[in-house]
Amino acid sequence: MSINPYLNLETSSNFQIFDFESVGKNSLKKRAIFDLIDESEQLYNLALCTVLKDGTQDFNSESKNGDMDTVLETVAYIGLIYSERFPERKIYFRGSNTVRSRKYQMGVNRYLEILIKTFFIEGLIIDKYDEILVRETFQIGKNYTALIFTRK
């Protein structure tokens, strides 16, 4: 199993923003952003968006650019770079909707053997009020709302 991310990354000076070009049906600017969401736990949300031509960030629309696997592999690669630079930080990853969260989890399932060499992975089940109902070691076959990656 090989991982072939886009390598055309541009990074902000503080490593909180990573831009890359998605090349599929169209050429789209993608952005991965790390935002602190829990200081005591050093938990950072990793958000993925498309940067539109006017510079606005679209977090909700599906690009349907035909390169989803490569984009997800690029996001995983960005997470690896980020966690090398900031090994004490945990990365929180959640889709903007249930379908996206499921797609992301399927990607984790596909590359689990590779990911667990570097990360401890937790699965979270969160209710509609954003209350965490379950936080446990990631298990194949369970549907999670969000994931947390901690560098080993």
As a residue count, the chain comes to: 152
First to last CA, the chain: 21
Angle at 59 between CA 57 and CA 64, to 5 degrees: 105
The whole-model pTM stands at 0.92
pLDDT in tens, 16-29: 999 999 999 999 99
Assign 76 to helix, strand or coil: helix
In a domain, 100, yes or no: yes
In a domain, 3, yes or no: no
Please give the residue range of the domain that contains residue 101.
Answer: 10-151
pLDDT in tens, 87-96: 999 999 998 8
The number of distinct structural domains making up the chain is: 1
Q: Which token pair is 46?
A: 């990793």
